Amino acid sequence: MYFAAPPNVFMFLIDDMGYNDIPWNNKDIEMPFTASLATDGKILTNAYASHVCSPSRGAFLTGLYPHRIAMSHGVYGESNPECTPQEFKLLPEKLKEAGYVSHAIGKWHLGFCEVDCTATARGFESFYGFYHGAVDHWTRVTSAGTPGFDWHDEKAGDLDSIYEPDWSGADLPSDNVYTQDLLTQRAIKIIDEHDHNKPLFMYLPSPLVHTPMQVAQHYIDDVPESKGDETRRIFIAMCKALDDSIKLTVEAIKAAGLYENSVIIFHSDNGGEMNYGSNMPYRGCKGSLWEGGMHVPAMIHSPLMDESERGKLEDGMTYIADMHSTILDLAGLDTSGLNGEVQTDLIFHGGKTNRDEFIPCLDILFPQLFGQAAIRVGDFKLINGWPGFYDGWESNGTLGMTNEVDTLGLNAHNGGHHKRYDMDTGAMFGYLEQMRGVFQLYNIKEDPLEEHNVIDDYPEIAEELQERLFAEAAVAWKIGEESLTPVEEGLPHHNDGAWVTGFCENGPLN
């Protein structure tokens, strides 16, 4: 253990914040408090996550690559009979060995089809938030797919709080209270009441800055029209609301006397969403294996950091699973057998990164809608098959659907379509079929914008990385396709209009 006692850890996992959505990369973003934490902490300029949220969350909480835990096939959805496999211990379960008390406040998105999938069955003492990928920020009703009330206040060991949530009367959050404000209030309450004799792990997966684009009007009014169209201005306003939430939480940490032995982590789960967030100057966006989908804002702040390291920009490569292993290391616990690398020395003492490679996605499910893979080793990144929904560059106005942008010129072999397909599913599948087996290689160090496919220039490197991918595919979790079909009984209209657990008759099928 590096320190005299296991530190308190606060993990702010931000939703859909792009590389260009943070003040140290874009002066248009006003997050003064978060920026002050970074100025007196360490900005990770070469931090990576996976390209969509469920895989990144799974990687953080298990310390393993998504393809090792049945989480490379996009995001968990609706009432699908799936969740992060229970044979893998999540971070709070491991931290119990060091005496930690853990709480989850915000977005889960790791599956909920049975009680054993929920947060309080996976090591957290309490869970306050929602199960799905997004909710309306005012009503707590799912904002994509099937509408249903999705809000839960659960305590470990109290099955009534999970099976029969009581949202009657005063316990029902009012529609005029912002979701992030509810989460902040709960975080402060737990911090205020925490027993100082035990280290605290607080997992704070925020619903911001994910769609829908909603925030109190006064935040929007403070954003000048010169900063973009209405949608972008609302997004920037949501960033400020997030900053205020972080400020209130950290002030509570200080007021409770926990700050001096605390580590505060800020990390986005993937790149910004097209038309909302911004990933300039990088290629692609959320949902793609280009840099714009995975190269994300991240920083660490802690009084435990060497004074000489504070305020530094750290360009050593990190992947989101490293936060898992580093937290275990700080707690004095075993980190063997994980894909996450311990980065304690890098973050706190100015050492070198322990990472030179990572695999953000390796999806081998067939037939393939999301079939895709990528591996980064050293300066090079190899992409196999479909790179994701989006391609192109925001900076030159070419960002769009993969089959619209068609950087490989495959549409000439698909009927000559070069215009928008308007979500023509048949045309999209036709494009995906042509992408199967296609390899692309990029030198990220020399070509960070991924403008030049150099696979013909470096055949030996391409072959080596292909072999690495094939070896990993051999040990990847084989996802059962039946887990991708929603269970009718889990839909809200069978449960008084709410999303609840307990609809996995045969357990998770992934």
Q: In sequence order, what DSSP letters do the residues of 81-137 get, joined into one string? A: S--S-TTSPPHHHHHGGGT-EEEEEEE--S--SSGGGSGGGTT-SEEEEESSS-B-T
Residues 291 and 336 occupy one common structural domain = yes
- Spacing of C-alpha 365 from chain mean position: 22
Pseudo-torsion of CA 447, 309, 40, 319, nearest 10°? Answer: 40
pLDDT of residue 252: 98
pLDDT for res 479? 83
Residue 2 maps to a domain: no
In a domain, 58, yes or no: yes
Beta carbons within 8 Å of 277's beta carbon, 6+ residues apart = 16, 17, 18, 20, 21, 209, 235, 271, 285, 286
Could you tell me if 365 and 351 lie in one domain? no
Q: Among the three residues 336, 360, 384, which one is the final residue of a domain in this structure?
A: 360
Cα angle 229, 230, 231 (rounded to 5 degrees) comes to 95
82 in Cβ contact with 76 (< 8 Å):
yes
| Domain identity same for 119 and 173 | yes
Q: What is the pLDDT of residue 18?
A: 98
Are 122 and 255 members of one domain? yes
Asked, for residue 413, whether it belongs to a domain, the answer is yes
Q: Are residues 269 and 400 in the same domain?
A: no
Per-residue confidence (pLDDT) for residue 403, from 0 to 100: 81
Please check whether residue 245 lies inside any domain of the structure. Answer: yes
Q: What is the reported pTM?
A: 0.94
User: N- to C-terminal Cα distance for the chain?
Assistant: 36
State whether 432 and 292 are in the same domain: no
Which residue in this structure is represented by tokens 């702040």? 301
| Shared-domain flag, residues 378 and 401 | yes
CATH number reported for the structural domain that contains residue 60 in this entry? 3.40.720.10
Domain of 420, CATH number, reads 3.30.1120
Helix (H) or strand (E) holding 385: strand 380-385
The residue type found at 453 is: N
| pLDDT for residue 296 | 98
**Do 122 and 153 reside in the same domain of the chain?**
yes
Q: What is the CA radius of gyration of the chain?
A: 22
Is 103 contained in some domain?
yes
Q: Under 8 Å CB-to-CB from 226, ≥6 apart: which residues?
A: none
Q: Are residues 377 and 351 in the same domain?
A: no
Q: How many folded domains does the chain comprise?
A: 2
Q: What average pLDDT values come out for the chain (510 residues) when binned by 10 residues?
A: 85 98 97 98 98 96 96 89 95 98 98 96 97 95 90 89 61 75 97 96 98 96 95 98 98 98 98 96 96 98 96 96 98 97 97 97 68 92 91 94 84 48 59 84 98 97 95 88 89 92 87
- With b for 16 or more beta-carbon neighbours within 10 A and e for fewer, the 225-251 pattern comes to eeeeeeebbbbbbbbbbbbbbbbbbbe
Task: For residue 185, report the phi and psi dihedrals to the nearest 5 degrees.
Answer: -60, -40
Expressed as residue numbers, the domain containing 472 is 361-478
Does some domain include residue 277? yes
Q: Is 442 helix (H, G, I), strand (E, B) or coil?
A: strand
Domain stops at, among 308, 340, 360: 360
Residue 332, SS3 per DSSP: coil
Distance of alpha carbon 500 from the chain centroid: 23
Same domain, 352 and 366: no
Quick one: 193 and 213 in the same domain?
yes
Please indicate, yes or no, if residue 488 is contained in any of the structural domains.
no
Same domain, 284 and 425: no
Is position 386 within any domain? yes
